[in-house]
Structure 1
Amino acid sequence: MSASDPTNWPTSALDAAATAFAGLTCEPAPLALDCAAFFSDAGLPLPVMPLPAMRDWLLRHPRAYTARDEVWRELIRRARLDGPHWVIAAAGMAMPALQQYAAHLCEGYTGDPADIDAEILTGFLTALRDRADLTKPAPYASLCKAAWRAGRDLRLQQREYLPVQDIEHLVSGSRTPPVPYGHPDLLVRRAVTLGILDPEDEQPYIDVRLGRRAIEPIAARIGVSVDALRMRLSRIDSRVAEALTDGLLTGVASPQTMARLRQQAEQRGGRRAGRAAAARREAARQHASAAA
């Protein structure tokens, strides 16, 4: 089958991803990773490896844990930051495992096997985009687990519905929800209002902590390093936890407390502005040195 022939494109999501991967990695210019540039001590046999060769090598060396972790951290970073072709590359690199999961989950399945394929690939891509944490070991295992669970959940939907107790005895009508009322976004908004969380950090905090989005694209979007954003969010976690313990996010803050929080916010803003100015001066100095 030709990857460029739309009339013969596979109907299975996994087969389609495998076909797209084959198109990206065929001769004369297969997609490759420069191993020496990113993980020189991982034990891979060549400094630059086409992805199919790297996949085959990893399959032949199942105990090469360091190499596998470094390869997949780089694949995940590129899938998040460098465009759709690296998303296809990551799916293709995982295809042997994904196809194995599909074959197992389709045994005895009375629905369309293509649905299982689609759920497995969706689970994998969701974890690839947002869920896999690059600071933890075995990122590939977390992607595979997400793919397996997505397919398994579809299989479980075939089971009969379980009866539940009669709910007609419950009191009807509206009831006051418990404090803090509503969505966690409201707590974050109140934290911004009080000066516990800086306005420019509100959306990154919601995206990473509440939305569980991947941190790498968000750091790139706001122009800071991943480590810097991770430390910033950790400090916000501490301030929010302290505010929750003190009841500031679910109660009424005194004028003295409001003034103290505003002063702390102003101090943070001053420090951040100072670091930004220093970074601009250093960039200008390096540019002048390069021009000379």
Structure 2
Amino acid sequence: MSVSDTPDWPTSHLLAADVAFVALASEPAPLALDCDSLARDIGKDPDLPSGVVPLPVLRDWLLKRPGDYGSRDAVWRELVLRARLRGAEWTIAAVGMAMPALVRIAGQLSAGYRGDPADIDSEVLTGFLEALRDHLDLTRPALYASLTMAAWRAGRRLRLADDGTVPVEDIEYVAAGSRTPKMPYGHPDLLVRRAGTLRIIDEADVQPWIEVRLGRRAPEPIAARLGITVDALRMRLARADERLAQAIAEGCLTEVASTSAVAATMAQAKRRTSIRAGRASTRGPAGTRGVAVAA
């Protein structure tokens, strides 16, 4: 690990995050999780300590129980949700909770590295944060293992580059004017935006579809922004997938659509909008829990 020339703050981003975590986890108001509520949220009874537990204490408790996967998933599901929905403070908290593993990964990858070990630290931290904010699927098990594996892969890419393994894209050179690509072609987001314009999918679903499907963004902040549940967002995007696939197969997005096809699509969109508005009026306040329904 790198040490800073300035004693007050480390040059390694990973160690800087550790310093920030220590500050957030210190008295008089350390960050903590209510472990009793975690047990209720997942509908099970994991062997978690009772009551409100400061994060450093909870981290030590988990480290002593490496095989308690249910409790670990319960804690990390809550940490990831808070990092995604509440911002920087809980992002630092999640990094701090994973710090023993991140430091170990960075140390292993730094052995024999010819560059600055702080670069390895930065890549490990970046890989962890990208998975935390956007790529980790909270419906799957082994959340902590997935996060640390993402950190390891990011650091390993830098090591491979240092060892002389440079990935080269397989690029097919086509002389200018030699041929025209077959349709559909162009950026996928342009096709999706055209689908929204033609009302093949609802315009309100265009940007969420681009963010989740193309940008691989986490669905939780997007659902919160829209005022719907994550399950409702997933259902809306799944139905948009079906409509997009059908439209592409029928040529509606890659050819000139007929007047009758446009009229039929508009009628379907109007019906979906009416159904969605009716359901929204009976679902209750945004963010309440219950059965998610999407048009």
Give the TM-score, by structure 2 length.
0.87
For these two proteins, the number of residue pairs brought into alignment is 273
Aligned to 2:200: 196
Residue 227 (structure 1) shift: 1.4
| 1:158 shift after superposition | 1.5
1:288 alignment partner in structure 2:
none
Aligned match of 2:116 in 108, 112, 119?
112
**Take 2:167 and 2:213, find their aligned partners in 1: how far apart are those partners?**
35
Q: Does 1:151 align with 2:165?
A: no
The alignment yields a C-alpha RMSD, in angstroms, of: 2.1
Distance 2:119 2:223 in 1: 35
**In structure 2, C-alpha distance between the alignment counterparts of 1:161 and 1:9, rounded to whole Å:** 34
Q: Identity percentage over the alignment?
A: 61
Residue 176 of structure 2: which of 163, 173, 178 is its match? 173
In structure 2, the partner of 1:76 is: 80
Structure 2 equivalent of residue 289 of structure 1: none
How far the C-alpha of 1:110 sits from its partner, in A, is 0.5
Q: Write out per-residue CA displacement over residues 15-61 of structure 1, whole angstroms, 9 at most, x where no aligned residue.
A: 11111111111123211000111224221022221111111111110
Give the equivalent residue in structure 1 for 2:186.
182
Letter in 1 for 2:257: A
Q: What letter matches 1:17 in structure 2?
A: A
SS at match of 1:49: strand
Partner of 1:287: none
Q: Distance in 2 between matches of 1:237 and 1:172?
A: 34
Cross-structure match for 2:31: 31
CA distance in 2, matches of 1:184, 1:206: 9
Partner of 2:213: 209
CA positional deviation for 1:161: 6.3
Aligned match for 2:100, one of 96, 107, 116: 96
Which 5+ residue runs of structure 1 have no aligned equivalent? Answer: 1-5, 284-292
What do the CA deviations read for 1:85-106 (whole angstroms, capped 9, x no partner)?
1000000000011011111101
Structure 1 pair 59/278, CA: closer, same or farther in 2 (3 Å)?
same
Match of 2:241 among 231, 237, 240: 237
* Deviation of 1:109 (Å): 0.5
Aligned to 1:160: 164
Match of 2:128 in 1: 124
SS at match of 2:146: helix
Cα distance between partner residues in 2 of 1:178 and 1:185: 17
How far is the alpha carbon of 1:162 from its aligned partner?
6.6
Q: Which runs of no fewer than 5 residues in structure 2 stay unpaired?
A: 1-5, 286-295
Distance 1:181 1:52, change over 3 A: same
**Structure with greater Cα Rg:** 1
Task: Give the TM-score of the pair, scaled to structure 1.
Answer: 0.88
Identify the structure with the greater helix proportion. Answer: 1
